[in-house]
Amino acid sequence: MNSNTTMYQGWPEVDESKKLLIEQVRAFAEDKIKPRAAQLDATGEFPKDIIQALAEMGILGMMVPENYGGSATDAISYAMVLEEIAAACASTAVIVSVNNSLVCAPLTYFGNDSQKTKYLTPLAQGKKLGCFALSEPGHGSDPAGLECSATKVPGGYKIRGTKNWITNGKEADICLVFANLDKSQGYKGISCFIVDTKSPGYQVSKLEDKLGITASSTAQLFFDDVFVPEECLLGKPGDGLKIALNTLDGGRIGIAAQALGIARSAFESSKRFATEREQFGAPIAKLQAIQWFIADMATRLQGARLLTWAAARAKDLGLKYTKEAAMAKLAASEAAMWITTKAIQVHGGYGYTKEYSVERNFRDAKITEIYEGTSEIQRVVIAAQEFAALNKS
Q: What is the chain's length?
A: 393
Q: Which helix (H) or strand (E) holds 383?
A: helix 375-392
Give Cβ neighbours of residue 60 (< 8 Å, ≥ 6 apart).
51, 54, 96, 99, 100, 104, 123, 124, 125, 126, 129
CA distance 108 to 93: 21
How far is residue 142 from each of residues 25, 61, 165, 244, 373, measured CA to CA in Å? 36, 28, 14, 12, 10
Please list the residues that pair with 226 across neighbouring strands: 159
How far is residue 359 from each of residues 38, 192, 290, 337, measured CA to CA in Å? 10, 39, 18, 12
Rg (CA), the chain: 21
Instruction: Please report the sign of the dihedral spanned by the C-alpha atoms of residue 379, residue 384, residue 387, residue 392.
Output: negative
- Do the Cβ atoms of 368 and 258 come closer than 8 Å? yes
Residue 357, amino acid: S
**Helix-, strand-, coil-residue percentages of the chain, each rounded to 5:** 60, 15, 25
Give helix 240-276 / helix 90-97 axis angle, nearest 10°.
160
Q: How far is CA 117 from the centre of its chain?
A: 24
End-to-end CA distance of the chain: 49
Phi-psi region of 327 (alpha: psi -120 to 50; beta: other; left: phi over 0): alpha
Catalytic residue among 83, 84, 324, 372: 372
Is 372 one of the annotated active-site residues of the chain?
yes
The dihedral over CA atoms of 289, 295, 301, 304, expressed in degrees to the nearest 10, equals -110
Q: Strands, DSSP E only, in the chain?
A: 130-133, 149-153, 156-167, 174-180, 190-196, 202-207, 218-229, 233-234, 278-279, 282-283
Catalytic residues: 372
